[in-house]
Amino acid sequence: MARIAPYAAAASAGLVLWHAASDSPPVNSSTAAPLVYPTRAMAPSPAATTPASPGGLGVQQASVASTIQVVVGPKDTLGSIFKRMALDPADLAAIRQLPGIRQSLDYLKPGDAIQVTHREGSVKELTRKVSETKTLHVVRDEAGFAANVTENPVQTRIRTACATIDSSLFQAAESAQISDLVALKLANIFAWDIDFVLDIREGDRFTAVYEQIYQDGEYLHDGDVLAAEFVNGGKVYRAVRFVDETGAIGYYAPDGKPMRKAFLRAPVEFTRVSSVFNPHRLHPILNLIRGHMGTDYAAPIGTPVHAAGDGRVAFEGVRGGYGNAILLSHSSEIQTLYGHMSRFARDIHVGAHVQQGEVIGFVGMTGLATGPHLHYEYLMNGVHKDPQTVKLPGAEPLSADAMGRFHTETAPWLDALAAPQPLVQQSGLASSADSGATAVPFVDAAQAQSMPFSAGESQFVGERRTSVKNAPL
């Protein structure tokens, strides 16, 4: 038995080898099927194989391309984004060398979105929206990187809306589905004639003809106000947008007189008037009869104070009970004074020139003040005038040569403004002075946005008058 044991072991080993050979699969020289990931783009890596196995089998490695989307931060550059995302800086250098795209590529704003498809840090594709109407695409092929800019055209629809105010411009606008942006533009247009804190009263109403911007049928945002009407205390104010021969954009009354005056009615955004012009006022701190020769506008500390008109800084510093104060000289006749400020704006000093609306300081309560507010005075030939009622001089009117073009170009918008309410829908008004207005049944804003409009067609939707109460401006 012992003599045959070696032969038995050899026979058993032979049988094992025979079965192993019989059970081995045939060698397949074809390429293995790629791995597929539902949320990622994938392509097989060229020549990504392991050393040959004893059986002669090659195992191919799958390489996955990932797409990332980056939102640009306040201090981001493309270089910092590439470094943070571990992308190849050599690819960025190569992309920057492409002709005609350097500015579109490098000019980044916070909130911009950049989409990059890469494979192990090697950039395959980069996409970013350069502007509302342009998108940059950079793609890598066998020859290197190539770039193109595609156009994303927008469509402009014209909307007319109106509302009646019980207590608040912005609440009435919201009820009429008018954005806060348009409401604010209306306030700015009529700011020289209407005090939107003191003068607004129940029953005032407004109408606005303005642009709405769409892209591929989707609403993006509101555009320019083309014409507006505000009825305040029974007095009608109308304004229309016009671009003069120098390219300057302004708003004018239908007779061509500018809405802009040489001075702002109020030089600060305020919550209320805490003290009016009163030459016989009892001073709240000194307890003496001392005239209040200006207007106090209550506002939070740090609220920007704007120059009421173009002028030169005649005084800047501490001025008795005014605290931190600035005196502006606008001409040989008119000066304005701003008191109780917490601090002055940078570059404001005696002799500096300022423009209307420029920030010159910030609301505070320095000097003799019981709370944070701006004290504002208006002096004509050294005599104090009530800032709320003084007649403000107007800006320069349009030239005689510009008046003909003004009437031609603004006639369609004034026609839309005067259209019968509650609704008028007009077509083609954006490109033709011949409006052809026709009355149609009321259509609310939701219905109007769902209505089909072809390219170049204008939409005018009048709103029902709305009433809102107990709401702040």
Residue 292 DSSP label = B
Do strands 424-425 and 383-385 pair parallel, antiparallel, or not at all (unpaired)? unpaired
Q: What is the pTM of this model?
A: 0.58
Residue 190 near residue 259 (C-beta atoms within 8 A): yes
Contacts of 114 (CB under 8 A, 6+ apart): 69, 70, 72, 78, 81, 126, 127, 128
Domains and CATH numbers, the chain: 64-151 (3.10.450.350), 155-261+397-450 (3.10.450.350), 272-385 (2.70.70.10)
Query: What's the CA dihedral at 99, 103, 108, 112 to 10 degrees?
Result: -60
Which pLDDT score, from 0 to 100, does residue 324 have?
Answer: 97
Contacts of 130 (CB under 8 A, 6+ apart): 104, 136, 149
**How confident is the prediction along the chain (473 residues), in pLDDT tens digits per residue?**
445 455 555 555 554 445 444 444 444 433 333 322 233 333 443 443 334 444 444 334 445 779 989 899 988 888 999 999 999 999 999 998 898 888 888 888 898 899 999 999 999 999 998 888 889 999 998 889 999 888 889 999 999 999 999 878 888 998 899 999 999 999 999 988 887 877 888 899 999 999 999 998 999 999 999 999 999 989 999 999 999 888 889 999 999 999 988 888 889 887 677 677 556 555 455 455 456 678 899 999 999 999 999 999 999 999 999 999 999 999 889 999 999 999 999 999 999 999 999 999 999 999 988 889 999 999 999 899 988 888 888 777 888 889 999 999 999 999 998 875 543 333 333 332 333 322 222 333 333 333 333 223 333 333 323 333 323 33
Residue 61 near residue 48 (C-beta atoms within 8 A): yes
Query: Residue 266: is it exposed, middle or buried by C-beta count within 10 angstroms (0-12/13-18/19+)?
Result: buried
Query: Residue 42: is it exposed, middle or buried by C-beta count within 10 angstroms (0-12/13-18/19+)?
Result: middle
DSSP secondary structure of 397-451: PPPHHHHHHHHHHHHHHHHHHTSPSS-EE-SSTTT-S----EE-----HHHHHHS
C-alpha to C-alpha distance for 386 and 389, rounded to whole angstroms: 6
